[in-house]
Amino acid sequence: MTTATISGTVQNSTGRIIAGAKIEVRNVDTDQTRYNTADFLDATAHSQEEHRKATITAITTRQAAEVRQRFVRKTLLAMMGGLPTERGNLNARVYGIFSGDGYRVERITYDTLPNFHVTADLYLPVTGKAPYPAIISSPGHGSPGKFYDTAFGPETARHGIAVLSWDPIGEGERLQYMNPRTGKPLIGFGSPEHSQASIPANLAGQSIARYFVYDGMRGIDYLQSRSDIDPNRIGAYGCSGGGTITAYLAALDPRVQAVGTACYLTTMDELLASRGPQEAEQTMSGFIQSGLDLADYVELAAPRPYAIISTTEDMFPFAGATIVHDEARRFYALFAAQDKLHWITGPGPHGNLRPIMPQIISFFVQSLKATGGTPLPPIDAPADPSLSATPLPAKLSISDLQVTPTGQILSSLGGVTIADVIKEAAEPELAARRPLSLPNLRAAIRDVTGAQENLTGKNEVETNNRSKESGLQRVATTLHRPGIVSINSLAIIPAS
């Protein structure tokens, strides 16, 4: 029996070894102990995360913290392929108004890039005095899109804060890959559309995340263009995939003055060892290798008010959220701002925010200096599990919030798709492209893929099975090399 090893020892919160003196994984095909690919990658990532921890620990002054912030911002933007620079006309248009109990909703569209439309609902207070503070709220992955905010939007507006709830790419009324005859999705809402759009983006040297971030930034542009919104009191909020967008947006746009990131923040060590990496815009190539972790999004926002919002049974491990909070609190202390960092926690699974929604709204009311509404508990008050069983107020219907006549921006207004946007952004690069010599091409491939060169050690080929059938010989083999994942192969050749 051959055993591969990785130096160092670590366990995640469930006790699973992800790197240690020895990793042994049973290969059911060959009945040999070999590297498992996921464990190999987890161990590699853990080693890089350990290096990051040492880097963070060495930061002991505000000056060093600000140097770190500049590094993180520069690195994030490079991984995204930069952000679009065009700040054209928003072409904002109101399609209708719905009046609710203590609030009203404007159904709107605006453009983030030329002819690239966004659908959104703007919840506005009907009491108090304008200009109001406002929150840009990013929904999680799924077909509802902005319809996820039918509880958060009205309740926050009743407390004197406007909420712009918008449809990210592939959600709500913003399908990008739609059957033009039926108006139905070709590949599904949410994650499938994000993954599809990420393919051309990656080939163009971009992360699809850049367009999510830019859509959010243009949403802030829209809020600041309105006379009834205070441009200096803008917050950002989101849960799950919306928490990802919110973390990006707050990290990269200093206009965001208060941040609530829900059911997303954890550590990569904990995430990789449990659920694994997430979908397209949540996963940027080279993120861990570049010395980053999710805590960097919080720390890049320092010293602005920030609420880390977690549920104890979340699929984004709570143990990792604990580590993020503790590290970020130390980072905020370097700015004498530890009192501006909050950790709002509640019971239950992913997205179970009802027991802590009063505390979330309280955070924004306090941070954005809003007035109005019924009294709220302190930000650090314990969760109220009984709220989960309390009936919600009468729900808004889709017709109350739907912006476009058909329910989809492309079939109602036309415009360009994310595929068109990526293609246009890539055209200058394609025009400047020149053929590479063979050595330079090999180097470029290794750079993009991270493939190693001049590996040490000797290959060992193990033949697992030979058989002959219908004039063909089948040879199953495994290629072993010390320190890397073993590779199984099957060769089918004419029988001699």
pLDDT at 22 over 60: no
- What is the domain-level CATH number for residue 177? 3.40.50.1820
Task: Name the E strands within 78-192.
Answer: 93-100, 103-113, 116-125, 132-138, 162-166
Q: pLDDT by residue (tens digit) across 173-220?
A: 999 999 888 888 898 898 999 999 999 999 898 999 999 999 999 999
pLDDT of residue 145: 93
pLDDT band at 479 (very low <50, low <70, confident <90, very high): confident
DSSP 28-97: TTTTEEE--HHHHHHHHHHHHHHHHHHHHHT--SHHHHHHHHHHHHHHHHHHHT-----------EEEEE
Within-domain flag for 385: yes
Within-domain flag for 32: no
Q: pLDDT by residue (tens digit) across 234-244?
A: 999 999 999 99
Q: pLDDT by residue (tens digit) across 367-406?
A: 999 998 889 999 999 999 888 766 666 678 888 999 999 9
Within-domain flag for 186: yes
pTM: 0.86
Within-domain flag for 448: no
pLDDT of residue 3: 34
Smallest Cα–Cα separation from 109: which of 226, 222, 230, 241?
222
Within-domain flag for 451: no
**Domain count along the chain:** 1
Q: pLDDT by residue (tens digit) across 258-292?
A: 999 999 999 999 999 888 888 899 999 899 999 99
Q: How large a percentage of the chain has pLDDT more than 90? A: 67
- Encoding tokens for residue 444? 């470029």
* Residues of the domain holding 130: 93-428
pLDDT of residue 168: 96
Tell which wins on pLDDT, 159 or 496. 159
Within-domain flag for 304: yes
Q: Residue with structure tokens 């293609």?
A: 423
**What's the rounded Cα separation, in Å, for the pair 207 and 277?**
15
Q: Taking the alpha carbons of 392, 398, 399, 404 in that order, is the dihedral positive or negative?
A: positive
Within-domain flag for 3: no
Cβ(147)–Cβ(190) below 8 Å: no
Within-domain flag for 27: no
**What's the rounded Cα separation, in Å, for the pair 243 and 249?**
10
pLDDT at 456 over 80: no
pLDDT of residue 483: 66
pLDDT at 75 over 90: yes
Tell me the mean pLDDT in the region 334-348: 97
pLDDT band at 25 (very low <50, low <70, confident <90, very high): very low
Average pLDDT along the chain: 88
Cβ(301)–Cβ(272) below 8 Å: no
pLDDT at 24 over 60: no
